[in-house]
């Protein structure tokens, strides 16, 4: 099964989606299943994982309802505050909904030290009791803290979103690559090959510019721990859905059929528990 392991939905609200700044005005609109489904069909993608774009319980309710109404939305990655005193109650409530696969907090906007906070770590320790995954959304300057985090939770399934957003536009790769290789040494950590085009120059990126970053994570994580993800509709700032799908498909075309199938869907199905 071909699966897009990372995409979003929203009904645009200027306050809720204040992160969509003026230079991103092209995505200041609603993006719903009816908008994505034709793109998936064209690319032969059979299912998706819908990931939170707003840190609220209302966002979880919204995404879980969309998953209930649209069979192609196979799983949801929602939001909880791992530091909350009511975390256990929330996890118990969501455990009754089979569409909820895991959670993430938007750590990219937080200081790296948050991942070392005792309340954050105590919350992280609870996830495995419910079989939940955790998506790590960070920038390269968070990777030292990310390494420390994953090393303390070897039984927790982690996946790094968007290759940890390397500084592609600036051509920086060496330090990022070093940290990613260290993180990949923990076999409970996966990586989504998603969101790359928006870390490059939106108007002038080339596959030759992106390929070295794919090469790093392919070497580090192997074909068994990489996942295709589009980051639609955010990716529309720099590329159409089919364009990004084909970019990754072309890069991995020299791999075996099994390895290609793993990256394009099987790994995500196993990680998120998609049947």
Residue-level pLDDT at 17: 92
For helices 87-94 and 118-127, the axis angle rounded to 10 degrees is 20
For residues 79 and 60, the answer to whether their CB atoms sit within 8 Å is yes
Please tell me whether the overall predicted TM-score, pTM, comes out greater than 0.95 for this model.
yes
DSSP for 52-109, please give it. -SS-SHHHHHHHHHHHHH-TTEEEEEE---TT-TTHHHHHHHHTT-TTEEEE---GGG
Residue-level pLDDT at 271: 98
Regions of the chain with pLDDT less than 70: none
How confident is the model over 203-227, as pLDDT tens digits? 999 999 999 999 999 999 999 999 9
For residues 153 and 125, the answer to whether their CB atoms sit within 8 Å is yes
Domains and CATH numbers, the chain: 3-272 (3.20.20.140)
C-alpha R_g of the chain: 17
Measure the CA dihedral 177/183/184/187, to 10°.
180
Residue-level pLDDT at 129: 95
CA angle, 39 then 45 then 50, to 5° = 80
How confident is the model over 88-139, as pLDDT tens digits? 999 999 999 999 999 999 999 999 999 999 999 999 999 999 999 999 999 9
Residue-level pLDDT at 170: 95
Residue-level pLDDT at 58: 97
For residues 216 and 173, the answer to whether their CB atoms sit within 8 Å is yes
Length of the chain, please?
275
Residue-level pLDDT at 269: 98
Residue-level pLDDT at 121: 98
Give the E-state strand segments of 140-188 in sequence order. Answer: 158-160
My answer on whether omega of the bond before 41 falls inside 30° of 0, hence cis, is no
Residues with Cβ within 8 Å of 72's Cβ and at least 6 positions away in sequence, in order, are 33, 37, 40, 46, 47, 48
Q: 34-66 burial, b if ≥16 CB within 10 A, otherwise e? A: eebeebbeebebbbbbbbbbbbeeebbebbbeb
Q: In whole angstroms, how far apart are CA 157 and each of 130, 149, 154?
A: 12, 12, 8
The CA distance from 197 to 49, in Å, is: 19
Residue-level pLDDT at 156: 98
Q: Which residue has the tokens 């070093």?
A: 178
């Amino acid at each position: 099964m071909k699966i897009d392991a990372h995409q979003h939905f929203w009904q645009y609200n200027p306050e809720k989606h204040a992160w969509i700044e003026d230079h991103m005005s092209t995505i200041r609109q609603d993006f719903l299943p009816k908008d994505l489904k034709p793109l998936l069909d064209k690319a032969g993608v059979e299912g998706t994982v819908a990931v939170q774009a707003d840190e609220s319980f209302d966002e979880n309710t919204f995404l879980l309802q969309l998953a209930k109404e649209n069979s192609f939305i196979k799983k949801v990655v929602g939001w909880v505050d791992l530091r909350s005193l009511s975390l256990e109650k929330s996890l118990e409530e969501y455990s009754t909904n089979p569409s909820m696969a895991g959670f993430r907090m938007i750590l990219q906007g937080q200081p790296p030290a948050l991942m070392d906070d005792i309340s954050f770590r105590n919350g992280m320790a609870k996830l495995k009791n419910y079989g939940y995954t955790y998506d790590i959304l960070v920038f390269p300057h968070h990777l030292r803290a990310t390494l420390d985090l994953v090393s303390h939770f070897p039984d927790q399934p982690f996946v790094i979103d968007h290759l940890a957003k390397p500084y592609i536009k600036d051509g920086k790769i060496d330090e990022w690559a070093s940290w990613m290789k260290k993180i990949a040494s923990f076999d409970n950590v996966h990586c989504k090959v998603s969101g790359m085009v928006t870390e490059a120059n939106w108007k002038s990126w080339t596959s030759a510019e992106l390929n070295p970053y794919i090469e790093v994570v392919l070497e580090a994580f192997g074909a068994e721990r990489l996942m295709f993800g589009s980051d639609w509709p955010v990716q529309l700032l720099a590329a159409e859905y089919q364009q990004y799908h084909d970019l990754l498909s072309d890069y991995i075309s020299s791999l075996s059929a099994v390895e290609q199938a793993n990256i394009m869907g099987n790994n995500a199905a196993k990680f998120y528990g998609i049947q």
